[in-house]
Structure 1
Amino acid sequence: MQPSFSLEALEKENLGETVYGRLADALMKGRFAPDARLTIRELAQSLGTSVTPVRDAILRLIQDDALVQKSAREVRVPVITPERYREIRMIRLKLEGLVARETALCAGAADIARLRDLIARNEQAIADRNWTGALELNQTFHFALADIAGLPLLRSILHRLWLQMGPLIAEAYEPGGRVMIVHHHELLSAVEAGDADAAERAIASDIGDAADIILERLTARLGTSADAPGARH
């Protein structure tokens, strides 16, 4: 009986991780809009599983600040304030700047080819107005940098930030168009040249230009001014 029990426990653990991974991936890639209401039963039906692993995954995402519990039965994607977004942006500039530097210093030919392919596919998705595909490729590109840089701990920190950022980037991607990808070309050139300083500048420009669009949408939704005191760091 003992081997059977152990196998069952492992299967449940894998299922829980799979459900968490699917929901986290959907958030990072903007599949859920800010303030979207999520129900455990509907998510379970969509994923083809029972409610228990979905409930457990949602509790983990609430702990990650990726979802908020409004009531016993209501879970929503948070509507991030401009102030919170600016804090996330400031952290991203530091952490992703480090990632870009390390990528430029250690990327090999296969890594550069991988980045070039992601950019080309993203350009095509934008040209085709395939915003879902473009968003996925954008997120994949940013996390590919952390993989190439060999910084798994930093990648896990970025994972939590992107859980909160995904819905915001999704809202801004179509209005932003090629602004959301133009600096990826600069970053690739810096990585090819092994220029860490240029790579850090490129990722800062990428985050900064997207931030202008995101903040405009955030402040419009909340009826606040992006130029109010303390609006910029």
Structure 2
Amino acid sequence: MDRDETLAEKVYGRLRGALVGGRLVPGQKLVHRQLAAELGVSPTPVREALLRLVSEGALDLDVRGISWVPRLSPGRYAEIMDLRGELEGRAAARAALLATPEEIATLRAIHDRLMEGRRAKDAPVVLAENERFHFGVIAIARMPVLQKVVEHLWTQAGPTINLLLTVPRPDWPNGHPHEDLLRALDAHDADAARAAVERDLREYAKIVAPLLERDSGHGNPD
């Protein structure tokens, strides 16, 4: 019993990380026996992890009992991004009041790696460092309840990241919002920090939302 629970937690962590990082794509089926073979565990912990993600809204379940990654409707995506802006903006404002020079330097190094990945067109690096940056800001804010809610939102929205790979990425006309945020943290300017995060998410949503509209006619996978 304890071993199965531990394995279920580990499988949940792996699957959640794949959703957040965009390694699972909208419409993708997740058959528990196939996943169990790939992960080298029994089907039971995989089934438990999948059902947990279904209960959190990160996966859907079809009539056959097969889990799959949902295609977000434009309305649901807009709600998720509005909530992210509110919550991550609040965390950034608090982080601006608490951040140490060492913590800011760590975030700056993460952003530098993100930009290097972008110049090299290395999508996995960009996605991983972007996630690390955003959750690094939340960690500085020391708001564990908020962090848990944001994690659930990222789990639901993460697979939409793949849509960005289907279109050219525009340059930031006024500089990357992360750079604005770093300056706000240096200045301990809570309002500027909140505004930087909100701009980051707003400009990102401007790219993804039309792509969701384009794909909104798709339903469950066959």
Would you call these one fold, judging by a TM-score over 0.5?
Answer: yes
Match of 1:202 in 2: 196
Q: Using the alignment, how far apart are the partners of 2:57 and 2:171 within structure 1?
A: 29
The residue type paired with residue 18 of structure 2 is A
State the 4+ residue runs in structure 1 displaced beyond 4 angstroms. none
Mean CA deviation greater in 57-66 or 70-79 = 70-79
The residue type paired with residue 35 of structure 1 is G
Query: Does the 8 Å CA contact 1:103/1:146 hold for their aligned counterparts?
Result: yes
* Structure 2 CA distance for partners of 1:189 and 1:23, relative to 1, 3 Å: same
The residue type paired with residue 27 of structure 1 is L
Q: Using the alignment, how far apart are the partners of 1:112 and 1:213 within structure 2?
A: 28
- Unaligned 5+ segments in structure 2 are 218-222
Report the secondary structure of 1:93's partner residue.
helix
Match of 1:5 in 2: none
Q: Using the alignment, how far apart are the partners of 2:52 and 2:168 within structure 1?
A: 32
Q: Using the alignment, how far apart are the partners of 1:30 and 1:60 within structure 2?
A: 19
Mean CA deviation greater in 68-77 or 186-195 = 68-77
Which of 1 and 2 has greater Rg?
1
Q: Using the alignment, how far apart are the partners of 1:10 and 1:178 within structure 2?
A: 50
1:103 to 95, 112, 137: 95
Task: State the Cα distance separating 1:18 from its structure 2 match.
Answer: 0.8
CA distances 1:52-86 after superposition (whole Å, capped 9, x unpaired)? 11110000000110000012242210011011111
- 1:187 pairs with 2:154: no
- 1:215 pairs with 2:209: yes
Q: TM-score, normalised by structure 1?
A: 0.87
Q: TM-score, normalised by structure 2?
A: 0.91
Match of 2:168 in 1: 175
Task: State the Cα distance separating 1:178 from its structure 2 match.
Answer: 5.0
Sequence identity percentage: 38
* Structure 2 CA distance for partners of 1:178 and 1:118, relative to 1, 3 Å: farther
Number of residues paired by the alignment? 214
The residue type paired with residue 164 of structure 1 is Q
Query: Does the 8 Å CA contact 2:92/2:193 hold for their aligned counterparts?
Result: yes
CA RMSD of aligned residues (A): 1.6
Counting only pairs closer than 5 Å after superposition, residues 1-233 of structure 1 correspond to structure 2 as 9-172=1-164, 175-176=168-169, 178-179=171-172, 182-222=176-216
The residue type paired with residue 176 of structure 1 is R
Q: Using the alignment, how far apart are the partners of 1:57 and 1:10 within structure 2?
A: 15
Report the secondary structure of 2:150's partner residue.
helix
CA distances 1:27-64 after superposition (whole Å, capped 9, x unpaired)? 00000111111111221122121111111000000011
Pick 1 or 2: higher relative contact order, CA cutoff 8 A, min separation 6.
Answer: 2
